[in-house]
A and B are shown apart, each in its own frame.
Chain A
Amino acid sequence: MIFDAANAHTFLDALRFIGDNPGFLATKALEQLELSGAAIGLALAVALPLGIVLGHFHRGSGIAIGASIVGRALPSIFLIAAFLTVLGLGFENNMVALAVLGTGPVLTNTYLALDGVDRDAVEAARGMGLSGLQTLSRIELPLALPLIFAGLRISAVTVVATAPIAAYAGGGGLGDVIANQASYRLSGVLGASICVMALSAGVWAALLAFQEALTPRGIRAVRVHAATSNGKEIL
């Protein structure tokens, strides 16, 4: 537990590994981002439309909120292993497994965001003669955007943070280095772990900044909370 000289040495070695192999680590990081990006894209393609439809019609709260609970209960290594047995070794199995993990937050937040849009605002829009689709695109979606984006942020960080585990199923990326101490030694494992941490913290910070910029000034003061059936989860 104590940070003694031996530990300091171990971490210096890890930093040296990063300093000695910047190109190699960057390639691995890019591999990981590529896999994560594909998975997030797939998750969005499924969860966004579904969440928008369910939220707009105020239907299916069980599915929308249950998706988060089940998604949280599914261990990443189990999903990765399970899709490995179905889709074989490579890119697709990991992409699908990570996409499943990323679906829950987007679906739940999109549903809650649209379901929670002020009914008076929607009434007013309908009264002004806007059609259902116009109400959705001009009133509901803009108001729901910050919360939807918060869901995307959680989902993206979850996927990027889980992607290293895909190395156990041929996913490549920085996880390859962490899972292979025999080749890269402790310094490589720790160096890659530091890179993985920096990568997910970086993605989180970048998306948070983007979300701030995206939020209309009028509602920026309100902190974004999502009331789930679990009580309050701060996003």
Chain B
Amino acid sequence: MSAGAGPVIPNFGQGSSCVTGDHFFCWGWVKQHWGDTLGPALVQHMELTGIAVGIGFVLAAGLALLAHRLRRIEQPISVLSALVYTFPSFALFQLLVPFTGLTYTTTEIALVSYTLVILFPNISAGLDAVPAEVMEAGRGMGLTRRQLLARVEVPLALPAIIGGLRIAVVSTIAIATIAATIEPKGLGYPIFYAIALPTPFKTEIYSAGALTVALALACDAALVLLRRAVTPWSRARS
């Protein structure tokens, strides 16, 4: 689809022998095209992911708090979440096109759906897992319902919430590559582009793929550090 669009003999550049011969990996090409291909794609990818996780987190947190009060709605939302997660991204993106076109909105709606269905069950499970004795103790100390939520439930649920964020961020970074079938944006685009060439261009595939994985693992590590910082008690225990 969108892969294969663009200039005719483009990213091959003026072609060192490494590039024209499509050798295993050409550092020269990466350096030459960091500024016009890989760098911008990386930034777009972070943007795609950041917006999706941000909106998804707000929606999921809101829904989870609602479900925490109204237990009845938790089960249906969980089942729906599991079902949405089975939707293949490739197909979901296409099915949104009649509504929102080949736009950023289309890709974000799909990506937000995926983050939402990962985050909701995790936040819910975290809030539900707070021990009853702890809640009793809080109530005994005269905390109101809102105070209980803010001072007891949410802090104790933080590890589960951040655990959910880790899964959501890493998955979204991977799924966002498929967004390139809708709009030529993100790190998926160089891969779809290079695979559609008469001879798949190895360097472009490997470098864009490695960047995607590195971005995912870096975000994962950052969230682990965040969890340690916001839950000092769990560190003291272990």
Chain A interface residues (CB < 8 Å from chain B): 1-3, 6-7, 10-11, 69-70, 72-82, 84-85, 157, 160-162, 164-165, 168-169, 175, 178-179, 181, 186, 189-190, 192-194, 196-197, 200-201, 203-204, 225, 228, 230-234
Contacts and interface: CB of A to CB of B under 8 A. Distances in A.
A85 B205 contact: yes
B178 interface: yes
Interface in B170-228: 170-171, 173-175, 177-178, 180-181, 187-188, 191-192, 194-196, 200, 202, 205-206, 208-209, 212-213, 216-217, 220
Interface stretch (B8-16, B122-130, B145-153): B122-130
A232 B163 contact: yes
How would you classify the secondary structure of chain A's contact residues: helix, strand, loop or mixed?
Answer: helix
Nearest to B118: A233
Interface residues of B, number: 60
Contacts of B202: 85
How would you classify the secondary structure of chain B's contact residues: helix, strand, loop or mixed?
Answer: helix
B178 A77 contact: yes
A233 B220 contact: no
B99 A75 contact: no
B208 to A, nearest CB: 7
B88 A200 contact: yes
Contacts of B125: 225, 232, 234
Interface of B: 1, 3, 78, 82-83, 85-92, 94-95, 97-100, 105, 121-122, 125-126, 129, 159-164, 166-167, 170-171, 173-175, 177-178, 180-181, 187-188, 191-192, 194-196, 200, 202, 205-206, 208-209, 212-213, 216-217, 220
A194 B78 CA distance: 22
Given A161-B88, A193-B94, A232 B122 contact: yes
A232 B160 contact: yes
B71 to A, nearest CB: 15
A183 B1 CA distance: 12
A181 B94 CA distance: 11
Contacts of B98: 6-7, 10-11, 186, 190
